Amino acid sequence: MRILAIHSDYITIELKKKAIKSAEEKSKESIDVKDCLVIFTSVEKADETNVDEASRLLVKEVENIAEQIKEKRIVLYPYAHLSSDLSKDPNTAISVLTNAETLLKEDGYEVHRAEFGWYKAFKISCKGHPLSELSREFVPVGAIPGKRKEVEQDISEALKKEEELTSTWFILTPDGKEHPIELKKGKISGFTFTDEFKNLKKLIKYEIKKDRKVEMEPPHVPLMKKFEIANYEPASDPGNLRYPPKGFFMKSQIADLVTQNTVNYGAMAIEAPIMYDYEHPTLKSYLNRFPARQYTVNSPNKRLFLRFAACFGQFLMAKDMFLTHKHLPLRLYEMTRYSFRVEQRGELTGLRRLRCFTMPDCHAFCSDLDMVKSELEKRFELARSTLEACGLPLDDFEFAIRIVKDFYEKNKDFVQEFVKRIGKPVLVEMWNQRFFYFIFKYEWNFVDALDKASTLATDQIDVENAERYGITYLDENEEKKYPLIMHLSPTGAVERVLYALLEKAHIRKKQGLVPMFPVWLSPTVIRLLPISEEHLALATELADTFTTEGIRTDIDDRGDSVGKKIRNAEAEWIPYIIVIGDKEVQSKGKELKIRIREEKAQKDMKLSELIDRIKKELADKPNRPLPHPRLLSTRPKFS
């Protein structure tokens, strides 16, 4: 079944004439309902297998939406145009809708239902808030042979176990003190939260509750659309977005930076397949140790799953390598374009949580725990420097450590020193026994404008996959040993970096600060605003000069006033804006008045001085060319 839910100011429905012979008899000429949740429904072939469950699923989805928007008035409207696989039996559709009507009324809802099988005219007004338009798709158990069984298999044992695990929580401060905490009735006891630690408090509530659903549109979503960074793709699966030129540029810049920094750290970049045999014994065993839901696909001769990280390719490659202690630590790296996880629908929001994403993944194979600890420090600095270059310094994050009790007790000094390096209180989740493949994991968590926490960078100490995959090395005595494996993503998903930047910009704006992207990450670094056509020649000459110096420059050559051009450039967060008029022509562009966004000021600068300043800001960063036409008059709009 498919539904389209519209939270409406009103809907008026008029039944015109019967569309099929077996149409229901109409009870009245028209329906007129104000302030209601309208549910357009298409009953499909799959629903014929279990009409009762199809009705219950419909009611469950309707009540879930109604609860979110606080609406008790429901209108059920049969709407065949949502599906190309409609039920051929009108009695099935009528039964589903009448059953749903009865169940909703029993649950205290006021329900109006348009009769099935009629041509209808309707007028509707959508309220227009973030949850006012929603769509859902669902099928009864057994509707598609084997599908429900496969879905259950595709949920890993680790994911099921994660829901059952009990944890001990405490805050570890840089002075080495443990502060056991509890969450009761929405309040945290065991630690004094000053204003300095307000985001740590939000992280703790988010983690202990384990509620990942988002009930309203996050601020970054309208921003990602406004800046043409990303948008939803209705023709794909939810959580698979489209990225216009600006978004692709920004993703690529970040990916280039991560790769550059990770290779400089000493990692070797590789490329591996994105799909693997679902029945491969080693891989299947690993699937059940990783808390993620998998996409599966069928090839002509086997069932495959799409990777959710780069582990598979790097581990299979390492298995076939001849390694000795002299090769360790061995660092392998891949920028996975793409990784896939079937995240749950209620969790899919903009760039924060996706089903298809770009994940930098770096594994280090180490001989012993001392080498692991040394690598962990280097990799922490790799993550810190990379995120800071992206405009997200350490102060923007709250940290969490997941750890097995036995490892903590034996390595308490190391963990405390690690927290000291972080320099702020850290949330610790401790498990009495190990279920996952790792014994230690730390996370950089960004708390957004809706108080939701999202992990960006993370590193883990893996103690079981070397043996699982058969990865060995020869030690100093030429004996075969299994290495310890570290799993690092220096930034987390590239898309999530963009999410964090947009959410941070929104927060800064609310605080009265200037929202902007780092200069190296801005699609346009300089925008030139010629006052009239007479000044376009100099603007073009200057744009050529800046471009030769590796500075992305465009020209607003449209016929708008200078004031409007400035406002448009400011709205796009352009770092440097230059108006080109008679004075600039007289100086042949050598003397310029620059609007500098970061400083909220105008400055008189020489051309050479401006070039030197910007080149310093771009130094050592990836520097792809302008991702769209230079002249704004020739630039298409993507939103």
pLDDT of the residue at 158: 57
Q: In terms of CATH architecture, what is 157-167+212-501? A: 2-Layer Sandwich (3.30)
- Residue ranges in the chain modelled with pLDDT below 70: 141-165, 210-215, 288-292
C-alpha torsion 621→371→412→438, nearest 10:
80
Task: Provide the residue ranges of all domains of the chain, joining segments of one domain with +.
Answer: 2-145, 157-167+212-501, 519-634
Provide the pLDDT for residue 149: 36
At residue 289, the pLDDT reads 63
Topology of 2-145 in CATH? Answer: D-tyrosyl-trna(Tyr) Deacylase; Chain: A; (3.50.80)
φ, ψ at 598 (rounded to 5°): -60, -35
Q: Kindly report the length of the chain.
A: 639
Determine contact, residues 424/399, Cβ cutoff 8 Å. yes
Bridge partners, 474 (sequence order) = 324, 480
CA 134 to chain centre: 19
Q: Where are the beta strands (DSSP E) in 231-285?
A: 231-232, 241-242, 268-269, 275-277
d(C-alpha 265, C-alpha 279), whole Å: 36
Report residue 571 as tokens: 């709205």
pLDDT value for 146: 37
Task: Report pLDDT for 151.
Answer: 38
DSSP-based three-state secondary structure for 222: helix
- Alpha helices in 31-116, H assignment, sequence order: 51-69, 90-106
Inter-residue contact 37 to 71 (CB < 8 Å): yes
pLDDT for 293: 76
Cβ(472)–Cβ(480) below 8 Å: yes
* Region for 585 from its dihedrals, namely left if φ exceeds 0, alpha if ψ lies in -120 to 50, beta otherwise: alpha
pTM: 0.76
pLDDT of residue 547: 97
Q: What are phi and psi of 168, to 5 degrees?
A: -105, 130
* pLDDT score for 609: 96
Can you tell me which residue has the tokens 């679902």? Answer: 278
Please determine, looking at this structure, whether the domain spanning 519-634 carries the CATH number 3.30.70.120.
no
Helices 90-106 and 51-69, packing angle to 10 deg = 50
pLDDT in tens, 283-326: 877 776 665 678 888 888 888 989 988 998 999 999 999 999 99
